[in-house]
Amino acid sequence: MNAKNRIYFDYNATTPVHPEVVKIMDEFYLQKFGNAGSAHTFGLKAFEGVHWARKTCAEFLRGKPENIIFTSGGSEADNLALQGRLYKYKEEHPNSIPHLIITSIEHPAVFETAKFLENQGFKVTYLSVNKEGAVSAKQVQEAIREDTALISIMYANNEIGTINPIKEIGQVAKKAGIMLHTDAVQAFAKVKIDVQRENIDLLSVSAHKFYGPKGIGFLYVKNDDDMEKNASSAAKYLRPLMYGGSQEFNMRPATENVPGLVGMAKAVELAEKDFDLEYSRLVKLRDYLIDHILQEIPETKLNGSRTNRLPHNVNICFQNIYAYDLMIKLDAAGIACSVGAACHAGETKPSRVLLGIGLNSDEAAASLRFSLGRWTTQEHIDELLRLLEKYVTEMRKKA
Ligand SMILES: Cc1ncc(COP(=O)(O)O)c(C=O)c1O
């Protein structure tokens, strides 16, 4: 799935839509196009699609259909979790100043929402991360206060791929009776997640990171044990961001984006089908790329953890190289990779994530992210290695 003569190494930014996803979306655009809320056959066909999508997404996480609140993507799911939970807590505890715990290297969808909440008078603790980019359950434990309303720790980082010890953090949160949210936008469908086993209460997902369409995602919301069948606990834990119709268990109004959510569910189904095979294939390619860069190109270092990282993420610091220029040279040669995170590319500030793991601003500006995916081959990796060696040598000679 590479445009002619171009090689894509930016799957953390977004992925191409799988042809089978396009196929099912086409069906829901052209034939089953009804409003899922309509009582006639067109409506019922669309409703069936919504129900199937909800069930498919839920079961992949070992959850139930009523746990899924469809959103416009990861950013909205994160906003709903953070704003929804803190405002709900405030409603329930009017005399409190609700407190939120996040890490200092969250994606802006969480980080900027936390800043907004801070400006609104809520309290936020920003946990620092270790050199590999992870927080510990002990740090979370120590940050808990009487009015902590939510702990939000990303499952895996979008720039350096580091995976957090969510299961251990989940145990801490459960023991303290505090809800745990995790931004799993980069991890979902890449590593196995079990919301029950890991004590995750809220979890954000975005379809365009795993071969689904852009502009669709969901927030998983835990259900209470005593909930009636097919009912959701979302309104108990969260205040909605928007008001309108009764869609998504009264938590997120708007006519359902049926082609989008059916497409997302098809992408989930495809991920599940060959999960283990694809996981080990990617790990092998990732490790080959890391090993060869570190061995063959002098003065390079890996950002993030060697082993505790997403199967498809590589982030390298090329000392004394301006990574933006290297990225442009690679692009001119037909290879796409990224400096910082693509969602906010164009920023000239050094990456908050790379500074957060202890790099100085020169090292941060010398770092590039290569992310692999379903259509990455060994030949692509070899071509990338060849060009990296050539360009880095040339650029260092010139400097
Ligand atoms: C970790 C993380 N969270 C949230 C988002 C936002 O997701 P969306 O683009 O669907 O709004 C992204 C997108 O890059 C991400 O990587």
Q: Please check whether residue 2 lies inside any domain of the structure.
A: no
Q: What is the pLDDT of residue 348?
A: 65
CATH number at residue 202: 3.40.640.10
| Same domain (yes/no): 383, 297 | yes
Averaged pLDDT for residues 203-216: 98
Q: Please check whether residue 240 lies inside any domain of the structure.
A: yes
| Same domain (yes/no): 263, 280 | no
Beta bridge partners of 10: 371
**pTM score, two decimals?**
0.97
Q: Which atom of ligand 1 is nearest to the CA of 217?
A: 10
Q: Please check whether residue 84 lies inside any domain of the structure.
A: yes
Q: Which domain holds residue 328?
A: 7-16+275-398
Mutate to test the pocket of ligand 1, among 209, 309, 338 (most ligand atoms within 8 A of CB): 209
DSSP 116-181: HHHHTT-EEEEE---TTS---HHHHHHH--TTEEEEE--SB-TTT-BBP-HHHHHHHHHHHT-EEE
Residue ending a domain, among 272, 298, 325, is 272
Q: Which of 299, 334, 325 is nearest to 391 (CA)?
A: 325
317 is catalytic: no
| Same domain (yes/no): 176, 59 | yes
pLDDT tens string 54-80: 999 999 999 999 999 999 999 999 999
Sign for the CA dihedral angle at 47, 272, 155, 318 comes to negative
Q: How many residues does the chain have?
A: 399
Residue ending a domain, among 272, 294, 309, is 272
Total domains in the fold of the chain: 2
pLDDT of residue 158 exceeding 90: yes
CATH number at residue 325: 3.90.1150.10
Ligand 1 lined by 109 (C-beta under 6 Å): yes
In the chain, what's the furthest Cα-to-Cα distance? Answer: 70
Ligand 1 lined by 107 (C-beta under 6 Å): yes
| Same domain (yes/no): 266, 294 | no
| Same domain (yes/no): 89, 213 | yes
Task: Tell me what percent of the residues of the chain surpass a pLDDT of 70.
Answer: 97
CA distance 230 to 69: 13
| Same domain (yes/no): 104, 231 | yes
Ligand 1 lined by 186 (C-beta under 6 Å): yes
Q: Please check whether residue 27 lies inside any domain of the structure.
A: yes
| Same domain (yes/no): 249, 391 | no
| Same domain (yes/no): 164, 246 | yes
pLDDT tens string 213-248: 999 999 999 998 888 888 999 999 999 999 999 999
Residue ending a domain, among 227, 242, 272, is 272
Q: Which atom of ligand 1 is nearest to the CA of 154?
A: 1
Output the CA 196–ligand 1 centroid distance in Å.
23
Output the CA 111–ligand 1 centroid distance in Å.
12
Ligand 1 lined by 79 (C-beta under 6 Å): no
Ligand 1 lined by 73 (C-beta under 6 Å): yes
Q: Which of 107, 134, 171, 139 is nearest to 309 (CA)?
A: 134
pLDDT tens string 383-393: 999 999 999 99
Q: Please check whether residue 230 lies inside any domain of the structure.
A: yes
What tokens appear for 242 in the block? 């928007």
| Same domain (yes/no): 295, 205 | no
Q: Please check whether residue 293 lies inside any domain of the structure.
A: yes
Backbone angles phi, psi at 123, to 5 degrees: -105, 140
Averaged pLDDT for residues 252-264: 98
| Same domain (yes/no): 136, 48 | yes
Q: Which of 119, 178, 167, 189 is nearest to 143 (CA)?
A: 178
| Same domain (yes/no): 195, 303 | no
pLDDT tens string 275-334: 999 999 999 999 999 999 999 999 999 999 999 999 999 999 999 999 999 999 999 999
The helix/strand/coil state of 89 is: helix
| Same domain (yes/no): 160, 297 | no
